[in-house]
Structures are given as structure tokens and as C-alpha cells.
């Protein structure tokens, strides 16, 4: 059963503007780009790591450049999204504090900055390569469509977010011209679905009776329905990753089956995330949870270190 928002999160008059009103415009504009969310773009490095080019200077430099491009593009999308949602965000106990929703950043300034960032980033993307540029355009188009309409269509809203993660992974592969395993794409879309559904559940529980007023699409979901979807996606994600680590394609590519030793990390990470969602009312911001929950952060770091060690120094080599 959905619980009412905690008293300390309820908006009281003009208080959400608070700190935003006291900050310079440039700082508020930077905050509106949501740099804390740029950790999502680290998916771009999957192509570099699993393509076995992590230690090659040129592919590494191109991947870092691709990461910067997608940070700029995602920041521009966040600006547009906050402009579109500014009225609804103003009624949200947490989002009302965002600079655009609180009025600390004018709409014209936000849209102008979004345009400049998009044009500049796409120009840089096409300089990195035509195919990378096309994927970047597809990413902007999808997320812009999400901000305007897809976020209001049940199931398609979370699928759009998931495909956005897949486009990041594809971009990381095409920028250095390496193939990316279909298993990794499957794992990416399923994990992104897990995070998106968990976020919907957090919003629904946090806002309780006011959920529909803030975002109409939440009326199409219920905590029970979301729990069913999360259960399916959780199992699918783990199974897909397990199949990937033991697939003949993986064994042939890396010359080792020891990637299976990393399975405990996604197991713990997903279970830890579910614990935070159900027992600590987390899930509203996956990026923030990753950065603030120490066990989860350690788990991800150990998984990344183990994968790099196994791929680049396989046992028995």
C-alpha cells in the first residue's frame, strides 16, 4: 500500500526555491544540466573495455571525447525536460527545488543553453565519425520525444529510457569501430528497465494520492504492478548476464571462462538496490544512489575491477 510523503519532504510555499534563489545564474544553469546524472554515460566505456582497447591511447581518447559529447547532449535534454515539466515539478516535494521549476533559471535562458549545447555537441559527434554522429542524433531525438510525449505512454515511457542506455552503449562501440556483443546490449536494456521501473515505483510511493496530479502516467501503474514487472526484469537481467559470461562467443573472444566469477557482483548489486527501494524508500535517482550508498558503490567498483582484470589478464594466459 502506498504511503504518504514524509512530512519533511512536503513543499511549503516558496521554500523549494531556497538555495537556488541564492546561487548565481551560471551555477543554477550548471545544476540544471544535472552533472550528477552523467554517470549514466559511463555505459559508453563498455565498448572500450569489452573491445579490449582500454590500454590503447587513441581509442581511449575517442571514448573520453564521446563521453563528453553525451554528457553535453544529456544535459541539453535535461534542460528541455525541466522546461516542459516545470509546472508539474513545482508540485513535487523534491523536484520543486530544481532551478527551472523554482524560477531561478528563466525558460528562455534554459532553452537557449540547450540549443547551444546540442548544436555544439552534435558538431563534435560528427567530427568523431559519421556513424557516431547518427547515433548521437538518434539519442537526442529519442530523449526529446520522451520529454514531449513518450513519458505519458504507459510501458513505452520506461522502454524509451532503456533504449537511451542502449544507444549510449552502441555509441561507445561505433566511436572506436568495435563490435559489441548482443548479450551486452540485452543486459544493458534489461538493467535500464530495472532502474526505470524502480524509479516509477519510488515516485508512486513517495507522492501517494498526489501522484497522478504530478504525472498522469503514474495513474496507469500501481506498486503491485511495478513489483511484478521489476521481478520479471530482475530475473531476466541476471540470467542474461550469466549466459553472457559463459557463452561460446565470450569464451572465444576473451579466451577464458572466468567472467563467470563476476556473477556475485550483479547479484549483490541488484539485491542491494531492491533493498534500498523497498526498505529505504530509494530509487528516485539511480545515479545518486550509486554515488551515496557505499556498499552499492563498492560493489560496482569491484565488479568493474574484476572484469578488467579478467579480460586483460586472463587466468592461464
pLDDT at 79 over 60: yes
Task: Quote the DSSP letter at residue 317.
Answer: -
Mean per-residue pLDDT, 82-107 = 80
From the list 286, 159, 142, the residue with the least C-alpha distance to 217 is: 159
Distance CA 134, CA 293 (A): 36
- Residue range 261-277, pLDDT digits in tens: 999 999 999 999 999 98
The pLDDT, as a whole number, for residue 19 is 59
Dihedral pair phi/psi, residue 53, rounded to 5°: -125, 15
Neighbours of 305 (CB within 10 A): 12
Contact 272, 188 (CB under 8 A): no
User: When comparing pLDDT for 36 and 58, which is higher?
Assistant: 58
The pLDDT, as a whole number, for residue 313 is 81
pLDDT confidence bin for 204, thresholds 50/70/90:
confident
Chain position carrying cell 519532504? 9
Provide the residue count of the chain.
Answer: 317
Please give the grid coordinates belonging to residue 39: 554517470
pLDDT confidence bin for 7, thresholds 50/70/90:
very low
pLDDT confidence bin for 17, thresholds 50/70/90:
very low
Contact 261, 306 (CB under 8 A): yes
Which pTM was predicted?
Answer: 0.84
pLDDT at 108 over 50: yes
From the list 305, 183, 191, 175, the residue with the least C-alpha distance to 252 is: 183
pLDDT confidence bin for 284, thresholds 50/70/90:
low
| Largest Cα span, the chain | 65
Q: Among the listed ranges 53-57, 203-207, 255-259, which one has the minimum average pLDDT value? A: 203-207
Distance CA 157, CA 142 (A): 11
The pLDDT, as a whole number, for residue 213 is 62
pLDDT at 292 over 90: no
Contact 92, 202 (CB under 8 A): no
The pLDDT, as a whole number, for residue 209 is 61
Neighbours of 314 (CB within 10 A): 14
pLDDT at 316 over 50: no
List Cα–Cα distances, 295 to 35, 207, 231, 275, in angstroms: 22, 27, 22, 12
Contact 47, 173 (CB under 8 A): yes
- State the Cα angle at 197 between 193 and 200, rounded to 5°: 145
pLDDT at 1 over 60: no
Amino acid at each position: 500500500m502506498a504511503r504518504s510523503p514524509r512530512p519533511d519532504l512536503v513543499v511549503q510555499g516558496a521554500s523549494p526555491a531556497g538555495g537556488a534563489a541564492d546561487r548565481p545564474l551560471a551555477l543554477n544553469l550548471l545544476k540544471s544540466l544535472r552533472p550528477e546524472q552523467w554517470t549514466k554515460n559511463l555505459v559508453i566505456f563498455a565498448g572500450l573495455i569489452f573491445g579490449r582497447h582500454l590500454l590503447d591511447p587513441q581509442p581511449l581518447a575517442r571514448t573520453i571525447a564521446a563521453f563528453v559529447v553525451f554528457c553535453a547532449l544529456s544535459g541539453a535534454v535535461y534542460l528541455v525536460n525541466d522546461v516542459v515539466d516545470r509546472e508539474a515539478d513545482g508540485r513535487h516535494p523534491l523536484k520543486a527545488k530544481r532551478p527551472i521549476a523554482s524560477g531561478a533559471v528563466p525558460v528562455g535562458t534554459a532553452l537557449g543553453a540547450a540549443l547551444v549545447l546540442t548544436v555544439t555537441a552534435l558538431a563534435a559527434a560528427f567530427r568523431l565519425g559519421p556513424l557516431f554522429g547518427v547515433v548521437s542524433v538518434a539519442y537526442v531525438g529519442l530523449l526529446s520525444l520522451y520529454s514531449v510525449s513518450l513519458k505519458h505512454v504507459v510501458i513505452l515511457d520506461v522502454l524509451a529510457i532503456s533504449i537511451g542506455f542502449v544507444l549510449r552503449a552502441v555509441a561507445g562501440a561505433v566511436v572506436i569501430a568495435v563490435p559489441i556483443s548482443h548479450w551486452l546490449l540485452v543486459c544493458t536494456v534489461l538493467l535500464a528497465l530495472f532502474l526505470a521501473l524502480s524509479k516509477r515505483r519510488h515516485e508512486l510511493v513517495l507522492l501517494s494520492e498526489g501522484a497522478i496530479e504530478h504525472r498522469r502516467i503514474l495513474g496507469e501503474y500501481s506498486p503491485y504492478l511495478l513489483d511484478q514487472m521489476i521481478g520479471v526484469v530482475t530475473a531476466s537481467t541476471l540470467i542474461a548476464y550469466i549466459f553472457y559470461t559463459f557463452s561460446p562467443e565470450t569464451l572465444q573472444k576473451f579466451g577464458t571462462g572466468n567472467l563467470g566469477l563476476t556473477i556475485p557482483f550483479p547479484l549483490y548489486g541488484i539485491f542491494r538496490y531492491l533493498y534500498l527501494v523497498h526498505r529505504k524508500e530509494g530509487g528516485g535517482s539511480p545515479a545518486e544512489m550509486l554515488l551515496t550508498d557505499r556498499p552499492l558503490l563498492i560493489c560496482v567498483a569491484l565488479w568493474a575491477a574484476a572484469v578488467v582484470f579478467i579480460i586483460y589478464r586472463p587466468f592461464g594466459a
